[in-house]
Structure 1
Protein backbone atom coordinates (compact mmCIF):
# COMPACT_ATOMS: atom_id res chain seq x y z
CA UNK A 1 0.00 0.00 0.00
CA UNK A 2 2.85 2.41 0.62
CA UNK A 3 3.60 2.48 -3.11
CA UNK A 4 0.11 3.69 -4.06
CA UNK A 5 0.75 7.48 -3.72
CA UNK A 6 3.83 7.15 -5.89
CA UNK A 7 1.95 5.15 -8.50
CA UNK A 8 -0.87 7.71 -8.55
CA UNK A 9 1.60 10.58 -8.92
CA UNK A 10 3.31 8.85 -11.81
CA UNK A 11 -0.02 8.20 -13.47
CA UNK A 12 -1.09 11.84 -13.19
CA UNK A 13 2.21 13.17 -14.47
CA UNK A 14 2.21 10.81 -17.42
CA UNK A 15 -1.38 11.79 -18.25
CA UNK A 16 -0.48 15.47 -18.10
CA UNK A 17 2.54 14.92 -20.33
CA UNK A 18 0.38 13.11 -22.88
CA UNK A 19 -2.06 16.01 -22.96
CA UNK A 20 0.78 18.47 -23.55
CA UNK A 21 2.13 16.35 -26.39
CA UNK A 22 -1.13 16.87 -28.30
CA UNK A 23 -0.51 20.62 -28.66
CA UNK A 24 1.28 22.46 -31.45
CA UNK A 25 4.48 24.19 -30.47
CA UNK A 26 4.17 27.80 -29.29
CA UNK A 27 4.91 30.30 -32.04
CA UNK A 28 5.59 34.01 -32.54
CA UNK A 29 5.11 35.73 -35.89
CA UNK A 30 6.26 39.32 -36.39
CA UNK A 31 4.78 41.38 -39.24
CA UNK A 32 5.47 44.90 -40.43
CA UNK A 33 2.45 47.18 -40.74
CA UNK A 34 2.32 48.90 -44.11
CA UNK A 35 0.14 51.74 -45.33
CA UNK A 36 0.56 54.62 -47.79
CA UNK A 37 2.43 57.68 -46.56
CA UNK A 38 0.09 60.62 -46.05
CA UNK A 39 0.77 64.13 -47.36
CA UNK A 40 -0.12 67.36 -45.59
CA UNK A 41 0.16 70.68 -47.43
CA UNK A 42 -2.23 72.96 -45.50
CA UNK A 43 -0.14 73.60 -42.38
CA UNK A 44 1.85 76.81 -42.13
CA UNK A 45 5.47 77.39 -41.18
CA UNK A 46 4.69 78.66 -37.71
CA UNK A 47 2.59 75.63 -36.83
CA UNK A 48 5.11 73.20 -38.28
CA UNK A 49 7.82 74.79 -36.16
CA UNK A 50 5.69 74.11 -33.07
CA UNK A 51 5.17 70.53 -34.21
CA UNK A 52 8.88 70.00 -34.93
CA UNK A 53 11.75 68.96 -32.67
CA UNK A 54 12.53 71.03 -29.59
CA UNK A 55 16.21 70.87 -30.42
CA UNK A 56 15.96 73.49 -33.18
CA UNK A 57 18.76 76.01 -33.05
CA UNK A 58 18.10 79.73 -33.13
CA UNK A 59 17.17 80.86 -36.62
CA UNK A 60 16.15 77.40 -37.82
CA UNK A 61 12.63 76.94 -39.17
CA UNK A 62 10.68 73.78 -39.93
CA UNK A 63 9.87 73.92 -43.65
CA UNK A 64 8.67 70.34 -43.82
CA UNK A 65 8.14 67.54 -41.35
CA UNK A 66 7.70 63.78 -41.30
CA UNK A 67 5.80 62.34 -38.37
CA UNK A 68 4.92 58.77 -37.52
CA UNK A 69 2.89 57.34 -34.63
CA UNK A 70 4.26 54.03 -33.35
CA UNK A 71 1.76 51.18 -33.19
CA UNK A 72 1.90 47.57 -32.01
CA UNK A 73 -0.92 45.03 -32.19
CA UNK A 74 -1.01 41.54 -30.70
CA UNK A 75 -3.29 38.79 -31.96
CA UNK A 76 -3.18 35.73 -29.74
CA UNK A 77 -4.68 32.28 -30.16
CA UNK A 78 -4.17 29.93 -27.22
CA UNK A 79 -4.61 26.21 -27.87
CA UNK A 80 -5.11 24.31 -24.59
CA UNK A 81 -5.72 20.83 -23.22
CA UNK A 82 -6.91 19.90 -19.72
CA UNK A 83 -5.42 16.96 -17.85
CA UNK A 84 -7.48 14.06 -16.48
CA UNK A 85 -7.75 15.60 -13.00
CA UNK A 86 -9.47 18.71 -14.42
CA UNK A 87 -7.16 20.87 -12.31
CA UNK A 88 -4.35 21.66 -14.73
CA UNK A 89 -3.97 22.58 -18.35
CA UNK A 90 -1.32 22.81 -21.02
CA UNK A 91 -1.55 25.88 -23.24
CA UNK A 92 0.28 26.72 -26.43
CA UNK A 93 0.25 30.44 -27.39
CA UNK A 94 0.22 31.31 -31.08
CA UNK A 95 1.14 35.00 -31.11
CA UNK A 96 1.12 37.39 -34.07
CA UNK A 97 2.73 40.82 -33.62
CA UNK A 98 2.14 43.68 -36.05
CA UNK A 99 4.24 46.81 -35.63
CA UNK A 100 5.00 50.01 -37.49
CA UNK A 101 3.75 53.58 -37.88
CA UNK A 102 0.16 54.65 -38.39
CA UNK A 103 -0.22 57.25 -39.62
CA UNK A 104 3.05 58.22 -41.27
CA UNK A 105 2.68 61.69 -42.75
CA UNK A 106 4.91 64.06 -44.73
CA UNK A 107 4.14 67.75 -44.24
CA UNK A 108 5.32 70.56 -46.51
CA UNK A 109 4.51 74.08 -45.32
CA UNK A 110 1.58 75.63 -47.19
CA UNK A 111 3.68 78.66 -48.10
CA UNK A 112 5.50 76.56 -50.73
CA UNK A 113 3.28 75.89 -53.79
CA UNK A 114 3.20 72.29 -55.01
CA UNK A 115 4.61 73.06 -58.44
CA UNK A 116 7.53 75.13 -57.13
CA UNK A 117 11.24 74.37 -56.85
CA UNK A 118 10.98 75.06 -53.11
CA UNK A 119 8.27 72.43 -52.64
CA UNK A 120 10.29 69.83 -54.52
CA UNK A 121 13.44 70.48 -52.48
CA UNK A 122 11.61 70.27 -49.16
CA UNK A 123 9.65 67.20 -50.23
CA UNK A 124 12.84 65.43 -51.32
CA UNK A 125 14.42 66.18 -47.96
CA UNK A 126 11.41 64.70 -46.18
CA UNK A 127 11.69 61.57 -48.30
CA UNK A 128 15.01 60.93 -46.59
CA UNK A 129 13.08 60.80 -43.32
CA UNK A 130 10.51 58.42 -44.82
CA UNK A 131 13.33 56.14 -45.96
CA UNK A 132 14.86 56.29 -42.47
CA UNK A 133 11.54 55.26 -40.91
CA UNK A 134 11.23 52.30 -43.26
CA UNK A 135 14.82 51.17 -42.90
CA UNK A 136 14.60 51.34 -39.12
CA UNK A 137 11.44 49.25 -39.02
CA UNK A 138 12.98 46.61 -41.27
CA UNK A 139 16.15 46.65 -39.20
CA UNK A 140 14.47 45.82 -35.89
CA UNK A 141 12.23 43.02 -37.17
CA UNK A 142 14.68 40.20 -36.37
CA UNK A 143 15.47 41.57 -32.92
CA UNK A 144 11.78 41.80 -32.06
CA UNK A 145 11.13 38.28 -33.33
CA UNK A 146 14.12 36.81 -31.47
CA UNK A 147 13.29 38.55 -28.19
CA UNK A 148 9.63 37.58 -28.20
CA UNK A 149 10.42 34.03 -29.30
CA UNK A 150 12.85 33.59 -26.41
CA UNK A 151 10.06 34.52 -24.03
CA UNK A 152 7.10 32.66 -25.51
CA UNK A 153 8.38 29.70 -27.55
CA UNK A 154 11.22 28.31 -25.46
CA UNK A 155 10.43 25.33 -23.24
CA UNK A 156 7.25 24.08 -24.88
CA UNK A 157 3.62 24.59 -23.78
CA UNK A 158 2.72 26.60 -20.70
CA UNK A 159 1.52 24.55 -17.73
CA UNK A 160 -0.71 25.84 -14.95
CA UNK A 161 -4.18 25.99 -13.39
CA UNK A 162 -7.12 25.85 -15.79
CA UNK A 163 -8.11 29.12 -17.42
CA UNK A 164 -5.12 31.23 -16.37
CA UNK A 165 -2.87 31.00 -19.43
CA UNK A 166 -4.90 33.32 -21.66
CA UNK A 167 -5.11 36.04 -19.02
CA UNK A 168 -1.44 35.75 -18.11
CA UNK A 169 -0.32 35.98 -21.72
CA UNK A 170 -2.66 38.89 -22.55
CA UNK A 171 -1.55 40.87 -19.49
CA UNK A 172 2.12 40.28 -20.16
CA UNK A 173 1.84 41.33 -23.79
CA UNK A 174 0.00 44.51 -22.84
CA UNK A 175 2.06 45.52 -19.83
CA UNK A 176 5.57 44.42 -20.80
CA UNK A 177 5.94 43.69 -24.47
CA UNK A 178 3.78 46.43 -25.96
CA UNK A 179 5.91 49.16 -24.34
CA UNK A 180 9.08 47.29 -25.32
CA UNK A 181 8.12 47.18 -29.00
CA UNK A 182 7.17 50.89 -28.97
CA UNK A 183 10.53 51.80 -27.44
CA UNK A 184 12.33 49.91 -30.18
CA UNK A 185 10.25 51.62 -32.86
CA UNK A 186 10.84 55.09 -31.40
CA UNK A 187 14.60 54.66 -31.48
CA UNK A 188 14.21 55.88 -35.07
CA UNK A 189 14.37 59.41 -33.64
CA UNK A 190 18.11 58.95 -33.15
CA UNK A 191 18.46 58.30 -36.88
CA UNK A 192 16.21 61.22 -37.80
CA UNK A 193 18.32 63.63 -35.76
CA UNK A 194 21.35 62.69 -37.85
CA UNK A 195 19.51 63.85 -40.99
CA UNK A 196 18.42 67.23 -39.63
CA UNK A 197 21.85 68.72 -39.06
CA UNK A 198 22.46 72.50 -39.08
CA UNK A 199 24.33 71.99 -42.33
CA UNK A 200 21.31 70.30 -43.92
CA UNK A 201 19.00 73.10 -42.77
CA UNK A 202 21.31 75.66 -44.38
CA UNK A 203 21.65 73.61 -47.58
CA UNK A 204 17.90 73.39 -48.09
CA UNK A 205 17.33 77.04 -47.19
CA UNK A 206 19.80 78.17 -49.87
CA UNK A 207 18.29 76.11 -52.66
CA UNK A 208 16.15 77.44 -55.53
CA UNK A 209 18.21 80.63 -55.88
CA UNK A 210 17.27 81.74 -52.40
CA UNK A 211 13.50 81.40 -52.93
CA UNK A 212 13.08 79.15 -49.89
CA UNK A 213 14.78 81.61 -47.58
CA UNK A 214 12.84 84.52 -49.06
CA UNK A 215 9.42 82.83 -48.67
CA UNK A 216 10.29 81.78 -45.14
CA UNK A 217 11.22 85.32 -44.06
CA UNK A 218 8.10 86.77 -45.66
CA UNK A 219 5.86 84.24 -43.92
CA UNK A 220 7.38 84.90 -40.51
CA UNK A 221 7.03 88.68 -40.88
CA UNK A 222 3.26 88.54 -41.39
Structure 2
Protein backbone atom coordinates (compact mmCIF):
# COMPACT_ATOMS: atom_id res chain seq x y z
CA UNK A 1 0.00 0.00 0.00
CA UNK A 2 1.44 3.34 -1.02
CA UNK A 3 1.71 6.28 1.33
CA UNK A 4 -0.55 9.35 0.70
CA UNK A 5 1.57 12.44 0.13
CA UNK A 6 1.32 15.14 2.78
CA UNK A 7 0.09 18.56 1.61
CA UNK A 8 2.77 21.08 0.99
CA UNK A 9 3.36 23.41 3.98
CA UNK A 10 2.09 26.41 2.05
CA UNK A 11 -1.14 24.64 1.12
CA UNK A 12 -1.71 23.51 4.72
CA UNK A 13 -1.34 27.06 5.98
CA UNK A 14 -3.81 28.28 3.36
CA UNK A 15 -6.38 25.65 4.35
CA UNK A 16 -6.04 26.54 8.03
CA UNK A 17 -6.48 30.22 7.20
CA UNK A 18 -9.68 29.55 5.27
CA UNK A 19 -11.11 27.41 8.07
CA UNK A 20 -10.24 30.03 10.69
CA UNK A 21 -11.82 32.76 8.59
CA UNK A 22 -15.01 30.74 8.23
CA UNK A 23 -15.16 30.12 11.96
CA UNK A 24 -14.72 33.81 12.68
CA UNK A 25 -17.18 35.13 10.06
CA UNK A 26 -19.02 38.19 11.33
CA UNK A 27 -22.74 37.38 11.62
CA UNK A 28 -23.45 41.12 11.51
CA UNK A 29 -22.46 40.99 7.85
CA UNK A 30 -25.83 39.34 7.21
CA UNK A 31 -27.63 42.57 8.07
CA UNK A 32 -28.73 44.78 5.17
CA UNK A 33 -26.49 47.80 4.54
CA UNK A 34 -27.37 50.91 6.50
CA UNK A 35 -29.25 53.47 4.41
CA UNK A 36 -30.48 57.05 4.43
CA UNK A 37 -33.54 58.21 2.48
CA UNK A 38 -34.20 61.94 2.34
CA UNK A 39 -37.70 63.18 1.47
CA UNK A 40 -38.30 66.86 0.82
CA UNK A 41 -41.80 67.99 1.75
CA UNK A 42 -43.47 70.00 -0.97
CA UNK A 43 -46.96 71.28 -0.29
CA UNK A 44 -48.90 74.03 -2.07
CA UNK A 45 -49.32 77.27 -0.19
CA UNK A 46 -52.76 78.11 1.14
CA UNK A 47 -54.20 81.63 1.05
CA UNK A 48 -56.24 83.37 3.75
CA UNK A 49 -58.05 86.68 3.59
CA UNK A 50 -59.85 86.84 6.93
CA UNK A 51 -57.33 89.13 8.65
CA UNK A 52 -57.49 92.87 8.27
CA UNK A 53 -54.54 95.24 8.12
CA UNK A 54 -54.49 95.76 11.85
CA UNK A 55 -54.30 92.03 12.56
CA UNK A 56 -51.54 91.57 9.99
CA UNK A 57 -49.44 94.24 11.68
CA UNK A 58 -49.43 92.05 14.79
CA UNK A 59 -48.82 88.81 12.90
CA UNK A 60 -45.93 90.30 10.95
CA UNK A 61 -44.46 92.53 13.64
CA UNK A 62 -41.18 90.62 13.86
CA UNK A 63 -40.66 90.27 10.12
CA UNK A 64 -41.77 93.69 8.87
CA UNK A 65 -39.51 96.67 8.37
CA UNK A 66 -40.07 99.67 10.66
CA UNK A 67 -42.33 102.31 9.18
CA UNK A 68 -43.98 100.00 6.64
CA UNK A 69 -47.46 98.51 6.81
CA UNK A 70 -47.88 94.78 6.34
CA UNK A 71 -50.24 94.33 3.38
CA UNK A 72 -49.57 90.64 3.04
CA UNK A 73 -47.59 88.01 4.88
CA UNK A 74 -46.20 84.55 4.13
CA UNK A 75 -45.30 82.07 6.82
CA UNK A 76 -43.63 78.71 6.37
CA UNK A 77 -43.35 76.31 9.30
CA UNK A 78 -40.05 74.42 9.30
CA UNK A 79 -40.65 70.75 10.09
CA UNK A 80 -38.39 67.71 10.44
CA UNK A 81 -39.56 64.18 11.09
CA UNK A 82 -38.00 60.75 10.75
CA UNK A 83 -38.76 57.07 10.63
CA UNK A 84 -36.27 54.33 11.50
CA UNK A 85 -36.28 50.64 10.71
CA UNK A 86 -33.59 48.84 12.69
CA UNK A 87 -32.76 45.24 11.76
CA UNK A 88 -30.80 43.74 14.66
CA UNK A 89 -28.93 40.57 15.56
CA UNK A 90 -28.36 39.38 19.13
CA UNK A 91 -25.34 37.27 19.98
CA UNK A 92 -25.65 33.84 21.57
CA UNK A 93 -24.97 35.17 25.05
CA UNK A 94 -27.78 37.70 24.80
CA UNK A 95 -25.47 40.46 25.98
CA UNK A 96 -24.44 42.10 22.72
CA UNK A 97 -26.13 43.09 19.51
CA UNK A 98 -25.49 44.72 16.18
CA UNK A 99 -27.91 46.77 14.13
CA UNK A 100 -28.16 48.47 10.75
CA UNK A 101 -30.16 51.72 10.74
CA UNK A 102 -32.54 52.31 7.82
CA UNK A 103 -33.31 56.01 8.22
CA UNK A 104 -35.97 57.99 6.37
CA UNK A 105 -35.88 61.72 7.14
CA UNK A 106 -38.51 64.18 5.93
CA UNK A 107 -37.97 67.92 5.99
CA UNK A 108 -39.36 71.12 4.57
CA UNK A 109 -41.88 73.85 5.28
CA UNK A 110 -45.41 72.76 6.14
CA UNK A 111 -47.73 74.53 6.08
CA UNK A 112 -46.90 77.55 3.95
CA UNK A 113 -49.61 80.13 4.46
CA UNK A 114 -50.16 83.38 2.56
CA UNK A 115 -52.15 86.15 4.22
CA UNK A 116 -53.52 89.09 2.22
CA UNK A 117 -55.33 91.82 4.14
CA UNK A 118 -59.09 91.59 3.67
CA UNK A 119 -59.15 95.26 2.66
CA UNK A 120 -57.86 93.95 -0.71
CA UNK A 121 -60.44 91.33 -1.78
CA UNK A 122 -59.68 88.54 -4.29
CA UNK A 123 -60.11 89.71 -7.87
CA UNK A 124 -58.95 93.25 -7.18
CA UNK A 125 -55.78 94.61 -8.71
CA UNK A 126 -54.34 95.24 -5.25
CA UNK A 127 -54.97 91.65 -4.21
CA UNK A 128 -53.22 90.32 -7.32
CA UNK A 129 -50.23 92.61 -6.78
CA UNK A 130 -49.82 91.72 -3.10
CA UNK A 131 -50.32 88.01 -3.81
CA UNK A 132 -47.64 88.13 -6.53
CA UNK A 133 -45.21 89.62 -4.01
CA UNK A 134 -46.05 86.98 -1.42
CA UNK A 135 -45.57 84.26 -4.00
CA UNK A 136 -41.91 85.29 -4.14
CA UNK A 137 -41.67 84.33 -0.47
CA UNK A 138 -43.26 80.95 -1.21
CA UNK A 139 -40.73 80.34 -3.97
CA UNK A 140 -37.90 81.34 -1.62
CA UNK A 141 -38.99 78.67 0.87
CA UNK A 142 -39.17 76.03 -1.83
CA UNK A 143 -35.88 77.00 -3.46
CA UNK A 144 -34.04 76.98 -0.14
CA UNK A 145 -35.34 73.51 0.73
CA UNK A 146 -34.01 72.26 -2.61
CA UNK A 147 -30.71 74.09 -2.16
CA UNK A 148 -29.82 72.43 1.15
CA UNK A 149 -30.90 68.93 0.14
CA UNK A 150 -27.53 67.75 -1.17
CA UNK A 151 -25.65 68.92 1.93
CA UNK A 152 -28.12 67.30 4.32
CA UNK A 153 -28.02 64.03 2.38
CA UNK A 154 -24.23 63.91 2.28
CA UNK A 155 -23.95 64.66 6.00
CA UNK A 156 -26.46 62.01 7.05
CA UNK A 157 -25.07 59.39 4.70
CA UNK A 158 -21.58 59.98 6.07
CA UNK A 159 -22.86 59.34 9.59
CA UNK A 160 -25.32 56.52 9.04
CA UNK A 161 -24.62 54.84 5.72
CA UNK A 162 -20.86 55.27 5.51
CA UNK A 163 -20.02 52.92 8.36
CA UNK A 164 -20.57 49.29 9.26
CA UNK A 165 -23.23 47.97 11.62
CA UNK A 166 -23.73 49.60 14.98
CA UNK A 167 -22.56 47.41 17.87
CA UNK A 168 -23.21 47.63 21.58
CA UNK A 169 -24.84 46.13 24.67
CA UNK A 170 -28.10 44.35 23.95
CA UNK A 171 -31.27 46.44 23.64
CA UNK A 172 -29.48 49.81 23.94
CA UNK A 173 -28.93 50.72 20.30
CA UNK A 174 -32.54 51.84 19.56
CA UNK A 175 -32.50 54.38 22.39
CA UNK A 176 -28.99 55.58 21.51
CA UNK A 177 -30.11 56.13 17.93
CA UNK A 178 -33.27 57.98 19.00
CA UNK A 179 -31.31 60.31 21.27
CA UNK A 180 -28.76 61.07 18.58
CA UNK A 181 -31.46 61.88 16.05
CA UNK A 182 -33.43 64.07 18.48
CA UNK A 183 -30.51 65.88 20.02
CA UNK A 184 -28.19 66.28 17.05
CA UNK A 185 -29.70 65.66 13.64
CA UNK A 186 -33.21 67.07 13.94
CA UNK A 187 -31.82 70.38 15.32
CA UNK A 188 -29.17 70.37 12.57
CA UNK A 189 -31.77 70.10 9.79
CA UNK A 190 -34.00 72.73 11.45
CA UNK A 191 -31.02 75.08 11.62
CA UNK A 192 -30.46 74.54 7.92
CA UNK A 193 -34.10 75.35 7.22
CA UNK A 194 -33.94 78.51 9.34
CA UNK A 195 -31.20 79.87 7.10
CA UNK A 196 -34.00 80.95 4.76
CA UNK A 197 -34.80 83.97 6.97
CA UNK A 198 -32.13 86.35 5.56
CA UNK A 199 -33.31 85.40 2.07
CA UNK A 200 -36.88 86.28 3.00
CA UNK A 201 -35.86 89.62 4.50
CA UNK A 202 -33.96 90.50 1.33
CA UNK A 203 -37.20 90.28 -0.65
CA UNK A 204 -38.89 92.96 1.49
CA UNK A 205 -36.73 95.89 0.53
CA UNK A 206 -37.94 99.49 1.04
CA UNK A 207 -38.05 99.80 -2.75
CA UNK A 208 -40.34 96.77 -3.00
CA UNK A 209 -42.66 98.15 -0.31
CA UNK A 210 -42.88 101.42 -2.22
CA UNK A 211 -43.48 99.70 -5.56
CA UNK A 212 -46.33 97.54 -4.24
CA UNK A 213 -47.95 100.43 -2.37
CA UNK A 214 -47.90 102.62 -5.49
CA UNK A 215 -49.29 99.96 -7.83
CA UNK A 216 -52.82 99.61 -9.22
CA UNK A 217 -53.29 103.32 -9.98
CA UNK A 218 -53.31 104.25 -6.31
CA UNK A 219 -55.81 101.57 -5.20
CA UNK A 220 -53.60 100.43 -2.36
CA UNK A 221 -52.63 103.96 -1.34
CA UNK A 222 -56.31 104.95 -1.18
CA UNK A 223 -57.14 101.98 1.03
CA UNK A 224 -54.28 102.84 3.35
CA UNK A 225 -55.44 106.50 3.42
CA UNK A 226 -58.92 105.45 4.52
CA UNK A 227 -57.40 103.37 7.29
CA UNK A 228 -55.39 106.30 8.60
CA UNK A 229 -58.39 108.67 8.82
Q: Same fold by TM-score, threshold 0.5 exceeded?
A: yes
Shift of residue 154, structure 1, vs aligned partner: 2.1
Tell me, in whole angstroms, the C-alpha distance in 2 between the residues paired with 1:108 and 1:16: 68
Does 1:49 find its partner at 2:75? no
Asked if 1 retains the 8 angstrom alpha-carbon contact of 2:42 and 2:142, the reply is: no
1:83 maps to 91
Q: Shift of residue 56 of structure 1?
A: 3.6
Counterpart in 1 of 2:211?
Answer: 203
Q: State the partner residue of 2:142.
A: 134
| 1:214 match | 222
* Native 8 Å contact 2:63 2:201 kept in 1: no
1:15, 1:83 within 8 Å by CA — same for their partners in 2?
no
Secondary structure at 2:83 match in 1: strand
Cα distance in 2, alignment partners of residues 110 and 136 from structure 1: 29
Structure 1 residues 115 and 81 mapped into 2: Cα distance closer, same or farther (>3 Å)?
same
The alignment status of 1:111 with 2:119, answered yes or no, reads yes
1:20-99 pair list within 5 angstroms: 20-54=28-62, 56-99=64-107
The reply on whether 1:152 has 2:148 as its aligned counterpart is: no
Contact 1:33/1:98 (CA < 8 Å) preserved in 2?
A: yes
Q: C-alpha separation between the residues in 2 aligned to 1:211 and 1:165?
A: 63
Question: 2:184 aligns to what SS in structure 1?
Answer: helix
| Residue of structure 1 in register with 2:173 after alignment | 165
Structure 1 consecutive aligned stretches of length 4 or more whose deviation exceeds 4 Å: 13-17
SS at 1:72's partner residue?
strand
Structure 2 segments unaligned to the other structure (5+ residues): 1-20
Contact residue 35 and residue 103 of structure 2 kept, 8 A? yes
Give structure 1 stretches of 5+ with no counterpart: 1-12
In 2, Cα distance between equivalents of 1:52 and 1:173: 32
Question: What TM-score do the two structures reach when normalised by structure 1?
Answer: 0.89
Question: Is the contact between residue 30 and residue 145 of structure 1 (CA under 8 Å) also seen in structure 2?
Answer: yes
The match for 1:100 is 108
Q: CA deviation at 1:115?
A: 1.2
Q: Rate the CA distance shift 1:167–1:141 in 2: closer, same or farther, 3 A.
A: same
Match for residue 182 of structure 1?
190
